[in-house]
A and B are shown apart, each in its own frame.
Chain A
Amino acid sequence: MAPPRFGVLALQGAFIEHIRTLQAIGVESVEVRLPEHLEGLDGLILPGGESTTMRRLIERWGLREPILDLARRGAPIFGTCAGMIALARHLDDGEEPILPLLDVTVERNAFGRQLDSFETDLVVPVLGDTPVHAVFIRAPVIARTGPGVDILARLPDRRIVAVRERNIVATAFHPELAGETRFHRLVATMASAHADPGEGAGRRPHPLRRSEGSEQR
């Protein structure tokens, strides 16, 4: 089985940090600036940056529909910070959603301005006992989650900062700035599972049964 091939949206922002993180775990990636760069990908990362800038560039270069298609086919999409804003179905300031793939409401600049940016250790149970060192930069938070959304991490004040819904993963903070590879490993595993779901116990024939349609006895 071929290893998964990721795209990193490279319109603007900290995309090189994601490419380096993927490299560190042995996952090949390409920079995505135009729709044709999405062909043949098993997953996509939406990096941190400025969400208003990304919105304009996604629209201008016709990336919206092809990214939604990729997500509909089940490929994992991982957004950090501005990437999380891009994935939200609702924005609390009433702006139109960008790629409404995640049933959450996101509050932009939820902590204030740059002077309120911070770093902290977070418990993320799905990644094991070692805490995640999380860097929050003019970060958003998730103000509401829909019924299908799993909450992966909260701040001590209970605010939600990491979620997963089916093939969509999003964090309000930047694992790619802190040498944290476990989120990338998680989505890389999701991509491998998507590319090759395996035989699957449910579809495996009974060991004593001959091939489909063969004569009884």
Chain B
Amino acid sequence: MSDTSTWATKKGLAQMLKGGVIMDVVTPEHAKIAEEAGAVAVMALERVPADIRATGGVARMSDPAMVEGIMKAVTIPVMAKARIGHFVEAQILEALGVDYIDESEVLTPADEEHHIDKHQFKVPFVCGCRNLGEALRRISEGAAMIRTKGEAGTGNIVEAVRHIRTVQAEIRQLAGMREDELFARAKELQAPYELVAGVAREGRLPVVNFVAGGISTPADAALAMQLGAEGVFVGSGIFKSENPARFANAIVQATTHFDNPKILAEVSRGLGSPMRGIALETIAETERLAVRGW
């Protein structure tokens, strides 16, 4: 008797990606550069977040032909983004055989009330969060991996830092709570009590948690790791930098040696310019991506 698409295999793949860098790619050529640089997986999307920001319009799932081209180009796992609540995009991506789906706020949401019922799928999902409650709601819907959102396409780490610090602090708070307090806290978090109690007991989320949104240098990646990330997603930071292959490689090295400043200095040296980046206060509230999802 053997079973496929179990909870263990779904969250297990994310466990294998830990300590690694998942890179946004738009084309098979990008995917090859990412794999060559040591990415543990690539994320297929229509446009990198910086371009979504610059050009506007509705951002959707990538063209299936492009996703298939990327799957043929590399042997590492291929993830692809679907719009929040757009379960048909997810069905299409599953039919293509992608290894993970990111139900992502970076794309334009398709549903402002409902996220995808991820339990209905054989393919595992990763979802974004800004805090513990959001993470646990996504896990209760079936997400097998979590990433903190940050603010994608800005090259600015400030929101990513805020979100991972928030999640970690909220996990630490649970550890000191009595059972009756946990019941009350579960209501505040709008998350199932069983998941809240599990986090309190284990001192960590029941699935792997990466940091995303605004990482653009090796030091940014190492900062995320030192704050408790189990790995990082890098979007525009690589292919909007002066030298994508070198940045990609340096960020991979920095994620492995995140707690070794001498090595971080060595791998950060002479990389050229990182992506230009945007100060957060210049982005109107309505243009922010992280607030999408509920």
Contact = CB atoms under 8 A, between A and B. Distances in A.
Contacts of B1: 120-121
Contact of B18 (A16, A81, A136): A16
A53 B6 contact: no
B66 interface: no
A60 interface: yes
Interface in A158-214: 174, 177-178
B40 A115 contact: no
B12 interface: yes
Nearest to A95: B75
Nearest to B74: A52
Contacts, number: 118
A56 interface: yes
Interface residues of B, number: 39
B13 interface: yes
B19 A13 contact: yes
Contacts of B124: 114
Contacts of A136: 9
A136 to B, nearest CB: 8
A213 B214 CA distance: 76
B97 A53 contact: no
A135 B8 contact: yes
Contact of B20 (A17, A53, A114, A137): A53
A137 B99 CA distance: 11
A137 B38 contact: no
B9 A137 contact: yes
B157 to A, nearest CB: 22
Nearest to B71: A113
A177 B20 contact: no
Contacts of B185: none
Contacts of B5: 115, 117
Interface string B1-17: 11111101100110111
B206 interface: no
B19 A15 contact: yes
A115 B256 contact: no
Nearest to B259: A33
A138 B5 CA distance: 12
Contacts of A174: 12
Contacts of B253: 57, 60
Interface string B84-102: 0000000000100111100
Contact of A12 (B18, B100, B123): B18
Contacts of A109: 75
Interface of A: 10-17, 33, 48-50, 52-53, 56-57, 60, 81-82, 108-109, 113-121, 135-138, 174, 177-178
20 contacts: A11-B256, A12-B20, A13-B17, A14-B15, A16-B18, A50-B17, A50-B77, A53-B38, A53-B252, A57-B252, A108-B75, A113-B97, A117-B4, A117-B13, A118-B3, A118-B4, A119-B6, A119-B9, A135-B12, A136-B9
- A-B pairs, top 4 by smallest CB distance, nearest first, are A120-B2, A114-B99, A117-B9, A12-B19
Given A52-B76, A60-B253, A115-B123, 12 more contacts: A10-B256, A11-B19, A13-B18, A49-B18, A53-B20, A53-B39, A57-B252, A109-B75, A114-B77, A115-B97, A137-B12, A177-B8
